[in-house]
Structure 1
Amino acid sequence: MSALRSWMNNRWMIPAVSGLLIITALVILQVSRIDTVGNIVMVAAAVVADTRIVMNAARALRAKFIGIDLLVSVAAIGAVIIGQYWEAAAVTFLFAIGHALETATLNKTRSALAALVAVAPDVAIVLRDGEQVDVSAGAVIMGETVLVKNGAKVPVDGEVTGGTGALDEASITGESMPVEKMIGDRVFAGTVSRSGFLQVRATGVGADTTLARIIHRVEDAQGAKAKTQVFMDRFSAWYTPAIMILALVVGVLTGDVVLALTLLVIGCPGALVISIPVSMVAGIGRAAKDGILIKGGEFLETSARITVVAVDKTGTLTMGRPRVTDVIVLDRSMTREQVLTWAGRAEAGSEHPLARAILDAAVSEGFSVTGLPESTEPVPGKGIAVNTAGRRILIGNLALLTQYGISHTAAAARVADELAQAGRTPMIVAVDYTVAGVVGVADEVRPDAAQMVTNLHAAGVKRVIMLTGDAPLVANAIGSITGADEIRGSLLPEDKLNVVTALQAEGHIVAMVGDGVNDAPALATANIGVAMGAAGSAVAVETADIALMGDNLLKLPEAISLARRTVNNMRQNITIAVVTVSLLLLGVLLGGMTMSIGMLVHEASVLIVIINAMRLLRRHGRDTSVIPADSMAFATLSSTVMSSAEHKPSD
């Protein structure tokens, strides 16, 4: 019984029954001298195929919408009334089989969402009272320890508290290579263990996981409409009634009811209506598979027109993890250890982004920097002045030394200039009004930064601009490595906003890539705001126009390229739809175009449009997870920089 019910609900049931009745009617009409029985069976075939179409048309009318179903229903019923039984059966049968094919192929375009839902884990193994307990993934309690064995799906978002292993994170970031995980690393629900054994403390469960947010985001994005689609919906709302009026006028003027009904069938805008949403769904789905979340059709359409990409340096073009690269001693009475120790003690009370790098360097070398300074005085734009252990410590730039009346700074200025030209941020250290040395700090340039700029140009972006708060010398050094077209240094957050608005005033469509904190004003103002490494940020997933789930910079040009291909695909589909309708109307005017042939061509055009859109689901070009060896620019830079050996002062 269940098998019969399943078959009755199958999308192919109505076309199959209608087709069988049509074949039966044709056989009867061939072998019998009486046409009545054959005609009755033919009408039955039309009724079977047309019943659901009429019901859909009635529902649309109740919603005050005149759609394609109404055109087909009127044409089929009219054909039966005037005795065109074969035309009525053929039109409804072809429409029914076309609808089944459309449903099947449209489901393919939503395959990315289906794949995301499929990777959602069902069960979890948790430790409760020292025992391993199998529970549903949604029943895991925040803070519980979850065990992830080799081959199992990670059921929660969490932090590794024990063990090591490799996880396939393709469902989240789109990267194909497994990622090694160890204590302290983050893991995401839906990823798959390829080796090892992990103990994970749950920090996100159920609907609060990254995977759940991605699924929700893709659902919303695939349902959102682009501006072109909104226009097309308005157009079809006028077009369909216009076709009905045209058919009525033609029927009245010519007295040819068959011609009027043929116009109804031929004028169906099916391919035109579906041309845009099917491309959007396929494009957004392909992006989701590659770890790129696009907020909706409007943003995908805008991304295809991007002419300028503005990129924040820290955490985007660079790794966002500054480290000490040089400790240069300028006072003969001091050692390298003393310079770094005094710098570390001074920075212990600082909120500066580079303070952590100096503290980490001092601690890693075993130097004592415990405790806080007695007083810390930040000097905006210059550095800090600190009293600690009975000594007065200054750490900052030359302007800070000048403000506090320190002389003999020529050597410090020379070294600071050399470091800045090499891409380091120099921090001059003075102890008791004597220049002790200079500490160089650098944030490693991402190995794929230069390739990203090249790929952006290949994707059609005219200018790539690097924005940073670093001094011009440091900014120029980093910018030259990446190959950015323009470099803007010494920028405050409001300055970055001004750069974006100025570019927009010039007529550019601007994408801004940043970390979403100090770049928030520029990100919000840009035509497209892009967040990198969004897998660990619920806010970025929900709010960014484009969220790159991983830290792979090459996903940005990939997203823009996909957007352009999607918009081109939409234009191709619109062209196919318009040309098809035009040729059909020409066929009617020249004569010889029947309702059944018109419906066959119409359904063929719909399928061509869908199949064309499905091309977007294929991966395009080479795998962006592979970084060319020649883009490892930081290694090249490192070889040009002075060593951290002690330099003798030179006056």
Structure 2
Amino acid sequence: MVEQKEESQTPSHHSHPSNKTELFFALFCGVFLSIGFLIEQLVVLPTWVSLSSYIISYFFGGYFISIEASKKIIQGGFDIDFLMIAAAAGAAYIDKWPEGALLLFLFSLGHALEHYAMDKAKKSIEALGELSPKTALLKKEGSLKEVAIKDLRINDIIVVKPNTKIAADGVIINGSSSVNQAPITGESMPVDKTFMEYGTNSPSFDEIDKKHIVFTGTINGDSSLDVLVLKLSKDSTVSRLIKMVSDVETQKSPTQRLTKKFEKWYVPLVILVVVLLCFAYLIIDESFNSSLYRAITVLVAASPCALAISTPSAVLSGIARAAQKGVLIKGGKALERLGEITTIAFDKTGTLTEGKPKLTHVIPLNDFNEKDFVQLVLEVESLSNHPLAKAIAKDIKSQYHIEVTNKASEVNAVQGKGIQATYHREKVFIGNRSLMESAAIEVDQVLISKMEQLLKNGHTVMIVAYKNKVAGLISVMDTPRKTAASTLKSLKEIGIKRMIMLTGDHQNVGDAIAKQIGLTEARGNLLPEDKVDAIKSLLVRDGKIAMVGDGVNDAPAMALSTVSIAMGAAGSDVALETADVALMSDKIENLPFVIGLSRASKRVIKQNIWISLGVVVLLVPATILGLTNIGLAVVFHEGSTLVVVLNALRLLRFK
């Protein structure tokens, strides 16, 4: 984890010894400016005394700015730092030392505060790096030894003591506990974790049920766990999160790209105008110094500092706020695009639904009593390994509080039809109509219409026959998540107009779930490639679309969408790689927060651009016409930069 930390602290577009040094230099600049000013105004001393104070002020104020400007010039570009140095040098040339020093003081203070703000946003992201403990308890030949995280190897076994941080991504092979996953997934409630039966071969991380898996940096509850390490520290979910968030800054948002382009031609233009203004005395009746003074004031007024910082500060704050809530947004592009979405497509299984079939109806028929009927179904289904049979047996046990008495035997699966078994020496069939036909069991019209009604509502229906006649019906269904309906309602409230479900299930199932949770549309019977076509057609219709899925089987469709959102991304490499936005937890209710946050970020970016451009548009003509002096221009100019940064930092408190 240590190497990771260093790697993630890549300095931003300004490399400094430290923010503190920069801030102190700015403050010293202000102190010597004040001393010079007070000596000049209140005490009768030779001019060189106040002048030397201003010169020292110049040194402290211009130190970091000069370094940055010279770096840029070597690379062949002029930027805002260069404009500021030029303005300060010009002010000194015409003996306006106090104004020059004031300019450098406010500009260097603004710079230091801007870096402080950027750092604050970054630090809340890098706090992720602090999640990982530095050492782990390695279990070897019966004894425990404390080792550094980076020395852990795959298939090592570590012991996690109660109420301590988990030191590696892995699978629990002994013990069960409730684990606080909030640092990674943002889930507020601890999650119950249990051990997995572990054979000789090492399981693959992505295929293990999440209830057996633990992540680096999450906090163990009240009991001890043995964890089999499945990922090295550099590949752990936390390390990847940090690396991704540090890479995030390189993915510029559309607005950021636009402002960069604008600055590219704007700065040389300003320099040209300023040079021309220096020769204004040739045309109008004024001294060279007056022309130069005006030119320098225009130089200050026209510098687009606030514009340069307006988008990056908002993007970083937005991304940092999302990271605190267990949501990874990959860069300004994803953040801005998400704010423009009005159509969302959802994968069904595991996204809108629990992804686990539940027993929905038990209908005994032909004078069968319910208790005998469910006992019969339980005995037979508990012998089968089919996922549906397992789900039925589990739900009957919990709903009816009965246990298996092992009265059934000789169970056989009939491919594509169902199962048959023996119960109390009589044959039992559970399955579809063709199974009944092949066993010559009569299915009457009343039964068929009952089945059709259930099928229409999205249930999967099975007929149960015993002693050569129909004993009843049972049905199962993948049920919607408890929070799905309320989440979709919140999405509607924040302006999402269309919500479409894409599923491989039967259209009836899709329609039934859509009706229950309030979707605008459901498209059923889709193979993965059909989902891609569905996204294509939605893009044609709505222009922009977000796709929400678990990122594994939906990867092709997600790659096509404007913004792809993966759920339950913690531990899923594919989802982390392919999605633009990753909800680390499996909670769909984080969606409205993310979309709300990206809209707020978009608003802040717009406000910032208006503020920064507005100040330039008002100040430049005023200075050309000689309506403002350099001091006033400096105050307005630097004031707008601070307003923009503070406005962006509001996003860190977004609810």
Q: Same fold (TM over 0.5)?
A: yes
Structure 1 residue 397: Cα displacement: 4.9
User: Does the CA contact (< 8 Å) of 2:552 and 2:575 recur in 1?
Assistant: no
1:244 maps to a residue whose letter is I
What is the CA–CA distance in structure 2 between the aligned matches of 1:580 and 1:405, rounded to whole Å? 87
SS in 1 for 2:340: coil
**Aligned residue number for residue 491 of structure 1:** 526
User: Does the CA contact (< 8 Å) of 1:213 and 1:538 recur in 2?
Assistant: no
Q: Which runs of 5+ in 2 are unaligned?
A: 1-15, 197-211, 282-287, 398-402
**Aligned residue number for residue 332 of structure 2:** 297
Structure 1 residue 173: Cα displacement: 1.1
**Aligned residue number for residue 277 of structure 2:** 250
What is the CA–CA distance in structure 2 between the aligned matches of 1:517 and 1:542, rounded to whole Å? 10
Rate the CA distance shift 1:371–1:229 in 2: closer, same or farther, 3 A. Answer: farther
Trace 1:194-343 onto structure 2 (pairs within 5 A).
Answer: 194-254=221-281, 255=288, 256-326=291-361, 328=363
Rate the CA distance shift 1:405–1:433 in 2: closer, same or farther, 3 A. Answer: same
SS in 1 for 2:187: coil
User: Does the CA contact (< 8 Å) of 1:46 and 1:90 recur in 2?
Assistant: no
What is the CA–CA distance in structure 1 between the aligned matches of 2:476 and 2:19, rounded to whole Å? 71
What is the CA–CA distance in structure 1 between the aligned matches of 2:436 and 2:259, rounded to whole Å? 65
Structure 1 residue 476: Cα displacement: 3.1
User: Does the CA contact (< 8 Å) of 2:310 and 2:645 recur in 1?
Assistant: yes
**Aligned residue number for residue 156 of structure 2:** 144
> Is residue 39 of structure 2 the alignment partner of residue 24 of structure 1?
no
**Aligned residue number for residue 633 of structure 1:** none
User: Does the CA contact (< 8 Å) of 1:327 and 1:340 recur in 2?
Assistant: no
**Aligned residue number for residue 357 of structure 1:** 391
What is the CA–CA distance in structure 1 between the aligned matches of 2:410 and 2:433, rounded to whole Å? 27
Trace 1:438-587 onto structure 2 (pairs within 5 A).
Answer: 438-587=473-622
Structure 1 residue 194: Cα displacement: 4.8
User: Does the CA contact (< 8 Å) of 1:448 and 1:553 recur in 2?
Assistant: yes
**Aligned residue number for residue 628 of structure 1:** none
Deviation sequence 1:348-380 (CA, Å, 0-9, x none): 5x7xx646535767997465899995x864xxx
What is the CA–CA distance in structure 2 between the aligned matches of 1:37 and 1:401, rounded to whole Å? 108
What is the CA–CA distance in structure 1 between the aligned matches of 2:23 and 2:57, rounded to whole Å? 14
Trace 1:168-179 onto structure 2 (pairs within 5 A).
Answer: 168-179=180-191
Rate the CA distance shift 1:219–1:406 in 2: closer, same or farther, 3 A. Answer: farther
What is the CA–CA distance in structure 2 between the aligned matches of 1:512 and 1:7, rounded to whole Å? 42
Rate the CA distance shift 1:409–1:140 in 2: closer, same or farther, 3 A. Answer: farther
**Aligned residue number for residue 400 of structure 2:** none
SS in 1 for 2:588: coil
Structure 1 residue 451: Cα displacement: 0.5
Structure 1 residue 341: Cα displacement: 5.9
User: Does the CA contact (< 8 Å) of 1:409 and 1:435 recur in 2?
Assistant: no
Structure 1 residue corresponding to 2:98, chosen from 65, 70, 86 = 86
What is the CA–CA distance in structure 1 between the aligned matches of 2:332 and 2:128, rounded to whole Å? 19
What is the CA–CA distance in structure 1 between the aligned matches of 2:461 and 2:19, rounded to whole Å? 76
Deviation sequence 1:381-414 (CA, Å, 0-9, x none): xx3477999x999876557878999863534423
What is the CA–CA distance in structure 2 between the aligned matches of 1:15 and 1:7, rounded to whole Å? 13
Deviates more, 1:398-407 or 1:507-516: 398-407
> Is residue 74 of structure 2 the alignment partner of residue 62 of structure 1?
yes
> Is residue 49 of structure 2 the alignment partner of residue 15 of structure 1?
no
Deviation sequence 1:215-237 (CA, Å, 0-9, x none): 11211223310111111111111
Rate the CA distance shift 1:530–1:431 in 2: closer, same or farther, 3 A. Answer: farther
What is the CA–CA distance in structure 1 between the aligned matches of 2:388 and 2:553, rounded to whole Å? 15
> Is residue 190 of structure 2 the alignment partner of residue 156 of structure 1?
no
Trace 1:423-434 onto structure 2 (pairs within 5 A).
Answer: 423-428=458-463
Structure 2 residue corresponding to 1:609, chosen from 626, 629, 644 = 644
Structure 1 residue 432: Cα displacement: 12
Structure 2 residue corresponding to 1:115, chosen from 127, 131, 137 = 127
Rate the CA distance shift 1:84–1:455 in 2: closer, same or farther, 3 A. Answer: same
Rate the CA distance shift 1:359–1:494 in 2: closer, same or farther, 3 A. Answer: farther
What is the CA–CA distance in structure 2 between the aligned matches of 1:395 and 1:494, rounded to whole Å? 33
**Aligned residue number for residue 285 of structure 2:** none
**Aligned residue number for residue 190 of structure 1:** 217
Trace 1:363-378 onto structure 2 (pairs within 5 A).
Answer: 365=404, 377=415
Structure 1 residue 303: Cα displacement: 0.8
What is the CA–CA distance in structure 2 between the aligned matches of 1:343 and 1:181, rounded to whole Å? 27
User: Does the CA contact (< 8 Å) of 2:174 and 2:195 recur in 1?
Assistant: yes
Q: Report the number of matched residues.
A: 606
What is the CA–CA distance in structure 2 between the aligned matches of 1:416 and 1:553, rounded to whole Å? 32
SS in 2 for 1:223: coil
2:246 maps to a residue whose letter is E
Deviation sequence 1:187-219 (CA, Å, 0-9, x none): 211112353333322222311211111111211
1:486 maps to a residue whose letter is E
2:354 maps to a residue whose letter is M
Rate the CA distance shift 1:459–1:442 in 2: closer, same or farther, 3 A. Answer: same
What is the CA–CA distance in structure 2 between the aligned matches of 1:258 and 1:109, rounded to whole Å? 39
SS in 1 for 2:179: strand
1:41 maps to a residue whose letter is S
User: Does the CA contact (< 8 Å) of 1:412 and 1:435 recur in 2?
Assistant: no
Structure 1 residue corresponding to 2:628, chosen from 593, 606, 627 = 593
1:229 maps to a residue whose letter is Q
SS in 1 for 2:177: strand
User: Does the CA contact (< 8 Å) of 1:465 and 1:488 recur in 2?
Assistant: yes
Deviates more, 1:152-161 or 1:36-45: 36-45
Deviates more, 1:39-48 or 1:50-59: 39-48
What is the CA–CA distance in structure 1 between the aligned matches of 2:646 and 2:439, rounded to whole Å? 72
Rate the CA distance shift 1:365–1:583 in 2: closer, same or farther, 3 A. Answer: farther
Rate the CA distance shift 1:598–1:309 in 2: closer, same or farther, 3 A. Answer: same
What is the CA–CA distance in structure 2 between the aligned matches of 1:209 and 1:242, rounded to whole Å? 49
Deviates more, 1:401-410 or 1:271-280: 401-410
What is the CA–CA distance in structure 2 between the aligned matches of 1:54 and 1:6, rounded to whole Å? 14
What is the CA–CA distance in structure 2 between the aligned matches of 1:305 and 1:400, rounded to whole Å? 52
Rate the CA distance shift 1:199–1:369 in 2: closer, same or farther, 3 A. Answer: farther
User: Does the CA contact (< 8 Å) of 1:340 and 1:362 recur in 2?
Assistant: yes
Structure 1 residue 79: Cα displacement: 1.9
1:218 maps to a residue whose letter is V
Structure 1 residue 490: Cα displacement: 3.4
What is the CA–CA distance in structure 1 between the aligned matches of 2:391 and 2:539, rounded to whole Å? 37
Structure 1 residue 146: Cα displacement: 2.2
Identity across matched positions, percent: 35
User: Does the CA contact (< 8 Å) of 1:415 and 1:438 recur in 2?
Assistant: no
Deviation sequence 1:113-145 (CA, Å, 0-9, x none): 122122222122222222222222222232233
Rate the CA distance shift 1:524–1:42 in 2: closer, same or farther, 3 A. Answer: closer
User: Does the CA contact (< 8 Å) of 1:43 and 1:88 recur in 2?
Assistant: no
Deviation sequence 1:149-207 (CA, Å, 0-9, x none): 34421111122333343332221111233333333432211112353333322222311
Q: Which runs of 5+ in 1 are unaligned?
A: 378-382, 621-651
What is the CA–CA distance in structure 2 between the aligned matches of 1:186 and 1:71, rounded to whole Å? 55
SS in 1 for 2:356: coil
Structure 1 residue 10: Cα displacement: 1.6
Deviation sequence 1:91-124 (CA, Å, 0-9, x none): 1222222211211122122232122122222122
